[in-house]
């Protein structure tokens, strides 16, 4: 496996490309090349297709031999994946969303461990994105992983195959008649687009950009921090770097001038299991959010700003003991998957604590102090940026 990962987890030059591709895309990316609005031609000089073939075969082999570990070793991944398939995602951003998948362990050999963590992909809005016509023009002959539609049979296997964690997604997605956005863009160029986080790197890329936490793991999921580790801004480094895509794999944000964080964060707008409210706060702009009382930006903003709890539950400090909730907008909150390796994850049964990397920044503070009564926005999230997530 390590050999495999070493081969797969190669830091590509995509970040720079993606940086450019993140430019406003507006529409019909297929026509412009998913690489980013006319980037197709630009890819040639950057990507060595012979090399890509090499990786492709390697990856194919990888999937043959490893996909089945997705479910068995990543129970939560299947769970999350299933949930993701059924869960709403920001419509606007989802539609624009290219692909993203990650794991906290990335290329590390700990892939063989029994991590409860997850691998998942964002998916496009069932109605909007799935039906969007612009995705279905001239697909690349090779698999179009981004489309889990019947018309793209290869997608399933490429995303993890009929077995494994991805299968859950595949099944779910098919069941729901939606397509996963995995590398929607990249799929147009490369068959290995399926960005199965299991082999997508974290560690290797982390050397380039990932934030190494004190446990020595690459903080691939630190969305808010992504920008900081990214030489090319937005998702190029923090996100893609974290993904550590094999060369030739193009993960792109399908346009959006909002770019980077808004897209990426949206893609990860899935959190722990069944916390609908919390999730909805994060999804705030997402229409399908069940029982969401904050369908609009205002609601979302208030949830985020108000800390979604204290102030609303009681007018005064009478109920000071009320449990605080995650802000839903800070980096950790926006993180979707448990790292599976931190103490909280490992001791989930006894610890009753959320993954350390997902612990809300706001909740880390003392309830009384610093934050100004919970009415403040998490420091990790600039107000303006928090807003952008909803567009």
- Say if residues 30 and 137 touch (Cβ distance below 8 Å): yes
- Say if residues 284 and 300 touch (Cβ distance below 8 Å): yes
275 binds DNA (CB under 7 A): yes
Residue 135 to residues 70, 164, 266: CA-CA distances in angstroms? 28, 26, 19
What minimum distance in Å lies between the beta carbon of 277 and DNA? Answer: 5
Angle (deg, nearest 10), helices 75-86 and 165-176? 20
Strand segments (E) across 321-390: none
**Which range binds DNA by CB under 7 A, 100-108, 243-251, 274-282, 294-302?**
274-282
What is the C-alpha to C-alpha distance for residues 256 and 270, in angstroms, rounded to an integer?
20
- Say if residues 288 and 88 touch (Cβ distance below 8 Å): yes
| Closer residue to DNA in complex, CB, 257/319 | 319
# of chain residues touching DNA (CB under 7 A): 32
What is the C-alpha to C-alpha distance for residues 311 and 238, in angstroms, rounded to an integer?
34
**Which range binds DNA by CB under 7 A, 65-73, 98-106, 143-151, 347-355?**
347-355
334 binds DNA (CB under 7 A): no
All residues at 6 or more sequence positions from 168 whose CB lies less than 8 Å from its CB, including other chains: 71, 77, 78, 79, 81, 82, 85
Residue 188 to residues 31, 35, 132, 158, 250: CA-CA distances in angstroms? 11, 9, 15, 13, 9
324 binds DNA (CB under 7 A): yes
Q: Among 22, 186, 195, 344, which residue interacts with DNA (rule: CB under 7 A)?
A: 344
What minimum distance in Å lies between the beta carbon of 320 and DNA? Answer: 8
* 212: β partners: 218
Residue 277-306 contact track with DNA, rule CB under 7 A, x = bound: x------------xx---------------
360 binds DNA (CB under 7 A): yes
Q: Mind giving me the DSSP string for 112-146?
A: GS------------TTHHHH-GGGSSS--SS--TT
Site for DNA, residues 196 to 215, rule: CB under 7 A? 214
Residue 224-263 contact track with DNA, rule CB under 7 A, x = bound: ----------------------------------------
367 binds DNA (CB under 7 A): yes
355 binds DNA (CB under 7 A): yes
50 binds DNA (CB under 7 A): no
| Closer residue to DNA in complex, CB, 130/303 | 303
147 binds DNA (CB under 7 A): no
- Rule CB under 7 A: which residues touch DNA? 214, 271-277, 290-291, 321-326, 338, 343-344, 347-348, 350-355, 358-360, 363, 367
């Amino acid at each position: 496996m390590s050999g495999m990962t070493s081969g797969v987890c190669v830091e590509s030059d995509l970040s720079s490309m993606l940086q450019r591709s993140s430019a406003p895309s507006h529409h019909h990316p297929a026509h412009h090349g998913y690489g980013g609005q006319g980037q197709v031609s630009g890819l040639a000089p950057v990507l060595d297709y012979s090399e890509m073939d090499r990786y492709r075969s390697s990856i194919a082999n990888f999937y043959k031999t490893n996909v089945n570990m997705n479910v068995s070793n990543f129970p939560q991944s299947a769970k999350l994946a299933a949930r993701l398939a059924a869960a709403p995602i920001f419509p606007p951003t989802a539609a624009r969303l290219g692909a993203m998948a990650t794991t906290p362990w990335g290329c590390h050999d700990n892939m063989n461990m029994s991590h409860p963590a997850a691998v998942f992909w964002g998916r496009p809005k069932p109605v909007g994105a799935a039906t969007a016509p612009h995705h279905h023009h001239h697909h690349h002959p090779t698999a179009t992983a981004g489309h889990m539609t019947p018309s793209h049979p290869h997608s399933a296997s490429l995303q993890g195959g009929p077995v494994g964690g991805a299968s859950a997604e595949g099944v779910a997605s098919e069941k729901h008649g939606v397509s996963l956005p995995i590398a929607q863009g990249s799929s147009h160029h490369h068959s290995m687009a399926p960005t199965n986080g299991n082999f997508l790197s974290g560690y290797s890329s982390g050397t380039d950009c990932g934030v190494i936490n004190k446990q020595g793991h690459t903080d691939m999921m630190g969305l808010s921090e992504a920008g900081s580790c990214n030489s090319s801004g937005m998702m190029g480094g923090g996100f893609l770097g974290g993904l550590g895509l094999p060369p030739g794999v193009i993960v792109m944000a399908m346009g959006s001038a909002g770019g980077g964080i808004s897209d990426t964060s949206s893609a990860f707008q899935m959190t722990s299991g069944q916390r609908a409210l919390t999730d909805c706060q994060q999804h705030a702009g997402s229409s399908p959010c069940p029982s969401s009382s904050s369908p609009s930006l205002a609601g979302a903003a208030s949830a985020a700003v108000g800390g979604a709890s204290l102030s609303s539950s009681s007018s005064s400090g009478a109920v000071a003991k009320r449990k605080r909730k995650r802000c839903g907008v800070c980096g950790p909150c926006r993180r979707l998957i448990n790292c599976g390796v931190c103490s909280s994850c490992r001791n989930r049964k006894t610890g009753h604590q959320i993954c350390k990397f997902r612990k809300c920044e706001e909740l880390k503070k003392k309830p009384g102090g610093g934050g100004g009564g919970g009415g403040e926005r998490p420091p990790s999230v600039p107000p303006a940026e928090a807003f952008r997530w909803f567009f």
